[in-house]
Structure 1
Amino acid sequence: MFKYLFIFLFVFLMVGIGFYSRKKVNSVSDFFLGGRKMGAWLSAFAYGTSYFSAVIFIGYAGSLGWSFGISGVWIGIGNAVLGSLLAWLVLGKRTRKMTREMNASTMPEFLEKRYDSRGLKIITAIITFVFMIPYSASVYKGMGYLFANTFGIPIEYYSYCILAIAVLTGLYLLMGGYIATAINDFIQGIIMIIGIIFMVYFVVIHPAVGGIANGLSKLSQIPEVGPDLVSPFGGSPWSLLSLVVLTSLGTWGLPQMVHKFYAIKDEDAIKRGTIISTLFAAIIGIGAYFTGSFGRLFLNNTAPSDMDMVMPVLLETALPDALMGVVIILVLSASMSTLSSLVLVSSSSIALDLIKGVINPDMKKERVMLVMRSLCAIFIAFAVVVAVNPNAIVTLMALSWGTDASCFLALFLYGLYWKGTTNSG
């Protein structure tokens, strides 16, 4: 009963914000960048909620917690220190300054103007659109698994859950653009913080764990892998380090993350946003991986056929019905905020960088807005199609993050800080 009530209230709130924000969207800049007037709290929460999605809560926390045990918490620490704190310190001020001076609204447009290369803009715009699809699909899959397990829906029908989430995300995004997304992200971020605190508490006190010390003791007694599960750096420290780097530094080159620095209003907001974003990442990241490290205790050390089911089973077992509703909203919040950012950035790469930027530079504002909204819907449809196919969440996530980070990270950093960098090298 509580689960259905929480979801109904959440959906009502998200749609209401979409209608409210629609009145504030009067230009392409409003739709995509919120008019470049976003404050510290909205920007920081938009960054944090885009960072942590169902991929983290359902895919990474479960499967990596199973493999690495308590050492998986280092990934959450890395996300806070490298992925949030250092990212804001290194990228925030410089990105805002240069994108405003160049009048660049997207990553491909910034690269075109910085390196004087239209070809680079075209290539990076296509990469942005194509490789954001598997990332979005991984988020849909995570939510689909959680809903199917929580509401007793046969796993073969979880595609209906994915479709419902897609419709809701598209509804408020198409109406309010980044303004609606940022307001929703703030509300969703508060829900995520409350949810993660409850989640950690009830998992730790559950008889399967019996407190932190007792839980670690139980993990250490698991045959063959026990000592590695409670080791500070796990049984594969180099693999752990690679995951910290991928999920922390990799975000520096993701267009949907950098986009938040384009839209923030001033340097004071960047300073305050740095602190807020780091604290948010620490709470969410560490909490998620800490919870996932006890997955084996809830499944009697029997790995499910699909490792993406570890966290849904853990949460359904550990949490009371009312709080399961809160956690569902937590993961739904994380997912929808990430999805809205991915959809917005991906659609803009085609609408602003290719169609208006190359094919039809004289396109009117109203036409551009229509094209962007249409592409948002098309992108969502593509992601849903990929999501219903049997690919692991972690695989989809790694494909997207790895490709985008390798394509954009070096180009973006050199473009920001090295004046000698040209389109020739």
Structure 2
Amino acid sequence: MVIKLLLLIIFFTVFIFVGIKCRFASKDVNGYVLGGRTVGPWLTAFAYGTSYFSAVIFVGYAGQFGWNFGIASTWIGLGNAFLGSLLPWVVLGRRTRIMTQHLNSKTMPDFFGQRFASSGLKISASAITFLFLIPYTASLFNGLSRLFKMAFNVDYSVCVIVMAVFTAVYVIIGGYMATAINDFIQGIIMLVGIIAVIYTVLSKNGGFMQSLALMSEIESPVMNGAYTSFFGPDPFYLLIVVLLTSLGTWGLPQMVGKFYAIKNEHSIKRGTMISTLFAIVVAGGCFFLGGFARLFNSVEQVRENGFDSIVPSMLSGLGDMLIAVVLILVLSASMSTLSSLVLTSSSTLTLDFINPLRKKRLPDSQNLFVMRLFIAVFIVISAVIAIVQAKSKVTFIAQLMGISWGALSGSFFAPFFYGLYWKKVSKASVISSFCFGCSIMIVQLFVSIGFIDFSGSFFNFVFRNSLYSGVFCMLSSLIIVPVVSLLTPKTCPANVEEMFAGYNATHMVMAKEILTDENGKQ
């Protein structure tokens, strides 16, 4: 217990110290929200990765899908690395950085407002962001608090409150730069921790090969050895999970926002490699570990305690030092994601919702005060929901995360992607995507809590769970946006050519900043 408490005290002390040191970089809105757009590749890549992977992944998804798919759940982690990390950096990174600077937009809702010349879109996107980030934040509290209860036998509510208070302190004081530096520290902890945990957990059953042999003996209603097969017992459902958890990042404001703040072109290229490698180790490691869940849990235990209890059960027999490492690992993952979520939510609510509704624009000092106030409000609301949700029927994390990701990415993914590349995207198509994504996931929420039942109908497939409906939203929006745009060309902004001029702008630089080969090519 002394070791655990000592590591926690050091952990929280370091992050509060970083928050205090970074307060000077957060004196204006641009510095507080984007770090002055001067954040380097390592900080940005780790901020992207640690915002991506949290207790939701480590406790919720790794446990649930490791149980369902066995070793094949590793594909989810690899999908996250290549579809959710590598491709967004390659496809969105550079264009996002150039377009948002050209439009002087600081958030995703602000991008929609500037790109499509509509304050209504800006306000709507801000409301969607705030509302649907709350269940995601609540799911973070849920996963982390289960591990704290296992390690310290502390009441769930106390865990939620402590985590909320410490996160609020360093984000309120230091803003984006504090979260980026802390994310880097947390990322290092996650890399070391996941490797140590995998090695130790598998050693309980004689190592990797012996664990694999034991997994192959577990019976499955589908086929013998299903949990060690290449694609597991349910390949189609596995594909759905990969798509939601990977493509979902393309439309999440807290993820795409990392590209707004990166320093330059060189940083984007380096950040792409760093982010991908980070995701391979952390996401691949989490789901690989979860694939051995059936060696540590019985069907009766899972049926009684739910999927969220699987990973804590796998870790419960570890030594005190390793338990402390696991706590710091999951705490790092969760607090980094939480800090990103609350900063995104508060900034978009202040800059994109409240400011447009006011006749007189607030000065920077007042905007900063309001953002900090909303960080506290957002955390309080999320913590209350997490405590109430833990005692309700919707007990597993994946449902909350699926609804949040489905609504946000189903609404934003296609308009943002097409908006960066295609001049003919219309305002009407963006409205259609917003309405479709939110409507589908609200219906899914009612289905999940039992208010609506589609059993036996055609809609049962789409609304089987939040993962299916979330993927349906994202893929459908990729069709809805271009089709509606072609049918409503008059709602395209008049100055779209000027918006895309930033991609072809010429900039004078010092000769020492240019490296050329013997042919004079850059």
Sort the TM-score into its range (normalised by shorter chain).
over 0.9
Structural mapping, 1:288-367, within 5 Å: 288-304=286-302, 305-317=305-317, 319-367=318-366
Q: How does 1:158-197 map to 2 (within 5 A)?
A: 158-197=156-195
Identify the residue that residue 404 of structure 1 maps to in structure 2.
408
Structure 2 CA distance for aligned equivalents of residues 357 and 108 of structure 1: 12
Matches within 5 A, 1:260-271: 260-271=258-269
**DSSP-derived class of the 1:23 partner:** helix
**1:376 and 2:375 are equivalent in the alignment:** yes
What's the secondary structure of 2:316's corresponding residue?
A: helix
Render the CA deviation track for 1:32-82: whole Å, top value 9, x for unaligned: 100111000000000000000000000001111111100000000000011
Q: TM-score, normalised by structure 1?
A: 0.97
User: 3-state SS of the aligned residue for 2:367?
Assistant: helix
Aligned residues: 419
For the residues of structure 1 that align with 2:89 and 2:371, how far apart are their CA atoms? 28
CA distance in structure 2 between the aligned counterparts of 1:47 and 1:238, rounded to whole angstroms: 28
2:90 aligns to what? 89
Contact 1:150 1:312 in 2 (8 A): no
Contact kept? 2:123, 2:356, Cα under 8 Å: no
Runs of 4+ residues deviating >4 angstroms: none
| 1:296–1:302 contact (8 Å) kept in structure 2 | no
Aligned twin of 2:26? 25
Preserved contact between residue 76 and residue 289 of structure 1 (Cα < 8 Å): yes
Alignment of 1:8-407 (within 5 A): 8-153=9-154, 157-206=155-204, 209-225=205-221, 227-304=225-302, 305-317=305-317, 319-388=318-387, 389-390=389-390, 391=394, 392-407=396-411
Name the larger-Rg structure.
2
Cα distance, 1:272 vs structure 2: 0.2
Distance 1:361 1:168 in 2: 34
SS at match of 1:303: helix
- The match for 2:420 is 416
Alignment partner, residue 507 of structure 2? none
CA displacement 1:298-345 (0-9 Å, x = unmatched): 12454332210111111122x221111111100000000000000011
Determine helix, strand or coil for the equivalent of 2:82: helix
Q: CA deviation at 1:360?
A: 4.5
Q: Answer yes or no: is the 8 Å Cα contact 2:145–2:160 preserved in 1.
A: yes
Bigger shift: residues 50-59 or 350-359 = 350-359
What is the CA–CA distance in structure 2 between the aligned matches of 1:80 and 1:130, rounded to whole Å?
Answer: 28
- What is the alpha-carbon distance in structure 1 between the residues aligned to residue 208 and residue 199 of structure 2? 10
Question: Given that residues 136 and 339 in structure 1 are in contact (C-alpha distance below 8 angstroms), is that contact kept between their aligned partners in structure 2?
Answer: yes
Considering only aligned residues, what root-mean-square deviation do their CA atoms show, in Å?
Answer: 1.1
Contact 1:53/1:335 (<8 A) preserved: yes
Contact in 2 for aligned 1:355/1:361 (Cα 8 Å) = no
Q: Deviations over 1:252-306 (max 9, x none)?
A: 0000000000000101000000000000000001110111111111124543322
Unaligned runs of 5+ in 1: none
Q: Secondary structure of the equivalent of 2:301?
A: coil
Shift of 1:16: 0.7
SS in 2 for 1:24: helix
